[in-house]
Homo-oligomer: A and B are copies of this chain.
Amino acid sequence: MTPRDDQHYLSEFERFLASKGLRLTVQRRRLTEVVMNTREHLSVDELLDRVRQQKLPIGRATVYRTVDLLCQAGLMHGHDFGQGMRRYESVFGHEHHDHMRCTGCGRIIEFQCEEIERLQEDVARKHRFTLQAHRLEMFGLCSSCTKLNPRRTK
């Protein structure tokens, strides 16, 4: 991801904020940059750490509030991987995708499947449901862990 992309996301966020009479502060800017510059799925604590590592003082409450705004702006998505806290990832830099989580090592693998997406729309239509979003998570053992646990295959 290039710096140019940052600019793009930042101005998109700024536009969103302006449209609601809100402001782009240093903390909001820096958080946006952190989110946009990684493909990892970060928790609030991890976001907090990364911003602080850059010597920018920031409070936990601000992270929660900003993360919320970024999601509202559609620039970020929250996920619950059943670990007790939510994790967040940028919607940019990679297209829509879903996740597989290894129950052995915790590794998260992303994947895309056009056909599954299409079928979801079919299902929704069949129920006259207006689809806004979806979340598909698969749990199991990644290739390395499968080798280590030949018996745990269900």
Contacts and interface: CB of A to CB of B under 8 A. Distances in A.
Interface string A134-154: 111111111101100000111
A56 interface: no
A142 B134 CA distance: 14
Interface in A6-55: none
B136 A132 contact: no
A140 B135 contact: no
Q: How many copies of the chain does the oligomer comprise?
A: 2
A111 B138 contact: no
By secondary structure, the A interface counts as mixed
B137 A134 contact: yes
A86 B82 CA distance: 10
Interface string A107-143: 0010101011001100110111111111111111111
21 contacts: A100-B123, A102-B129, A109-B127, A113-B119, A115-B119, A116-B119, A127-B143, A128-B142, A128-B146, A129-B141, A130-B140, A130-B145, A130-B146, A130-B154, A131-B154, A132-B140, A132-B152, A133-B140, A135-B136, A135-B138, A135-B139
